Amino acid sequence: MSNNNTIAGWVLAGGIAALGFSIVSGKYFHAGKHERPEVMGYVIEGVETSGGADSGPSIETLLQTADAAAGEKVFGKCAACHTINQGGANGIGPNLWATMGKPHGHVAGFAYSDALKSVPGNWDWASMDAWLTSPRKYANGTKMTFAGLGKAEDRANLMVYLNAQGSNLPLPAAPIVEAAPVEGEEAPATGEEAPVEGAEPVAAEAAPAE
């Protein structure tokens, strides 16, 4: 009986010693090491992980200073499918002479897609800008495979070039930008007149006697 107790005691002591050794060795080998984070990687300060870029000036603003010569260069991307000279033949796409201001699908003899023919209205500045940005979004199902022009400056230049080829659509008015107030100055309250520089202050009228 005593032998059994002695053996059990040694087994228990050995287990306790092994557990203690495991804890001590774990702390020793992991000393100075960071635990593995749940999400790998690190954050770079000052860099946004999401969010859109600044949209920049409106297309109406860009059209005021757009350059037809620069637009002719942009048209080089269209020349594989389109002609633009007066009386030019249709190619993969229709001839684009005098397109601005005309209805969608106006060129006789060209097989437009039903998607484009179903879009109401004419080729004004807004519709042409939307079309050049993404033909497939403008007319879902169009046969035109061109992805679109991502730069607003390119679209503005191309549109004024198209407008110069047999069209004469007036430019849209540029949006009015209100001037920011000068720092330190406050606008007069509604119903109050701003004081005139150099004017004498007006004395308050006496209240009438009751």
For residue 25, what are its two tokens? 């060795």
Asked if residue 123 has pLDDT above 70, the reply is: yes
Residue 57: DSSP 8-state: S
Residue 176: DSSP 8-state: P
- Can you tell me the distance from the alpha carbon of 71 to that of 156, in angstroms, rounded to the nearest whole number? 8
Report the Cα 9 to chain-centroid distance in Å.
Answer: 76
- Can you tell me the distance from the alpha carbon of 74 to that of 149, in angstroms, rounded to the nearest whole number? 9
Measured in residues, the chain has a length of 210
Choosing among 1.10.3720.10, 1.20.1260.10, 3.40.50.11260, 1.10.760.10, the CATH entry for 59-165 is 1.10.760.10
Asked if residue 210 has pLDDT above 60, the reply is: no
Q: Over the stretch 35-66, which tens digit does the pLDDT of each residue have?
A: 444 433 323 233 333 333 346 899 999 999 99
Is the pTM value of this prediction over 0.85? no
Q: Which residue has the higher pLDDT, 38 or 96?
A: 96
Q: Structural domain boundaries of the chain?
A: 59-165
Confidence of residue 122 (pLDDT cuts 50, 70, 90): very high
**Residues 94/95/97/103 CA torsion (nearest 10 deg):** -20
103 SS3 class? strand
